[in-house]
Amino acid sequence: MLEFEEDYIPGATIKVVGVGGAGGNAVNSMIDASLEGVEFITANTDQRALDISKAPVKLQIGSKLTRGLGAGANPDVGRKAAEEDVERLREALSGADMVFVTLGLGGGTGTGASPVIAKIAKEMGALTIAVATMPFAFEGRRRIQVAQKGYLELREFVDSIITIPNQSLFEICDKSTKLTEAYLLADDVLKQAVQGISDAINVTGIVNIDFADVRTVMSNSGLALMGTGEAEGENRAVEAARKAITSPLLKDFDISGAKNILLNITGGMETTLHEIEAVTKVVSEAAKGEAEIIYGNVINPDMQNRMKVTVIATSFRNDKSQVAGIPSEAQRKGTTTGMESGLRKAPESVSSSHEGVASAAQVRAPESSRGSSHAAMAALERELKSDDEDMIIEEIPAKSAGTGPAAPAARSAVNPEFISIKKIRENQSADVQKIHQILGGNDETDYFDIPAFLRNQAD
């Protein structure tokens, strides 16, 4: 009689690296939420931030360069700090099948160090996903430009980027929402983006989604959108599905034209076959019926009368490669947003518990796939990635110049309290000049010196 030995196949090893202040805060939020099957790491130039981190692995990067005092909102310092500790970062990421890099774009450590960390993860063979917040409009044009330039650099080294515009928090906050509560909402969105994917892999269900499914959907897949929705009651299936694909945080994005959709449905013991069909129908119709859907179903007795739907849509046929999270002209000029006019009552469909969460995720798309509708943004990308002498980053001492994932910018030691990016090319295209006007402001005055405790959130 033949005997067969069963091979033990361990689950995927998922590591989450919180980079900088915002990334570290997001990791603390995930630890508080008891995410399963995930290893947590924080990396920061600020020793004080590491002291309050709840992550079991804490990496102070660039201690020789910064002496534990932070990057001073300088991405070049953040990059050099990560390069100083490449081997320690490589050791911390060793063995990972999937790496999430969480950060806030626009600051120093998050913007500068994340591309270095993502590059290490990719080189080690891990599926690498960045989850990043974009600045508020009131933080000024220069900080937004720093975030945008950081985004363009980061996406070169990841499989996908989930971008979360902080400006969209105005859509789910009212005038009574405290600043600390607003940032907790941002942390919660970062957490849900990671949890939606990690739970799909780690939580065993009746119909399982495995790591190979996630890799197929997300690896070098172009634009991706991720949404999570939760509902209860008689019509919970349809409501949860609709929340997953329609959210104030999605803004102008939708899943129409996606080639691949990964769909995870979690419910109680009473989940029915008809409910599964109802969820897939809502999602399929939103994708215009063209997507191949890979779905999984998890039965969780604790869900009782509730249902949770997670949707990951990728490989879009239509061009949607614009940078998410850049405030519009109206937002920049304060006509639709601001501490007074921008805070408006949350839509009734969005609960205070933040049940419906959706985020825009993007990766590098081939030049040939870009449509004329986004020619202006494509032109801006080309300008931002052009010759080094086109950008002047003030505040970076000449002696700190070095090489890294992206070509170094021209440097001059000016006021260390600010980072300012100025375009000095005289022959800018009309498209780029138009975007310059959209971003608005005066080169010399349009920088809001946000207090340190605010800057640290995106650092």
Which residues are documented as binding site?
21-25, 108-110, 139, 143, 187
CB 227 within 8 A of CB 235: no
Beta-bridged to residue 228, according to DSSP, are: 310, 357
CB 130 within 8 A of CB 158: yes
Binding region for GTP = 21-25, 108-110, 139, 143, 187
State which amino acid sits at residue 271. T
Q: Which residue has the tokens 């990043």?
A: 132
Q: How far apart are CA 376 and CA 390, in angstroms?
A: 18
- E strand or H helix that includes residue 432: helix 430-439
Q: How far apart are CA 386 and CA 418, in angstroms?
A: 23
Q: How far apart are CA 296 and CA 443, in angstroms?
A: 51
| E-only strand ranges, 207-247 | 224-232
Q: How far apart are CA 175 and CA 422, in angstroms?
A: 35
Q: Which residue has the tokens 């063209």?
A: 290
Angle (nearest 5°) at CA 152 between 40 and 364: 90
DSSP string, 11-71: PP-EEEEEEHHHHHHHHHHHHHTT-SSEEEEEEESBHHHHHT---SEEEE--HHHHTTB--
Positive or negative torsion for Cα 203, 209, 214, 217 = negative
Q: Which residue in 142, 188, 198, 192 sits closest to 166, CA to CA?
A: 188
Strand 421-423 to strand 391-394: parallel, antiparallel, or no bridges (unpaired)? antiparallel
CB 310 within 8 A of CB 225: no
Task: Look up residue 201 and give its two tokens.
Answer: 């892999």
Task: Look up residue 319 and give its two tokens.
Answer: 């061009």
- E strand or H helix that includes residue 82: helix 75-84
Task: Look up residue 367 and give its two tokens.
Answer: 């030049």
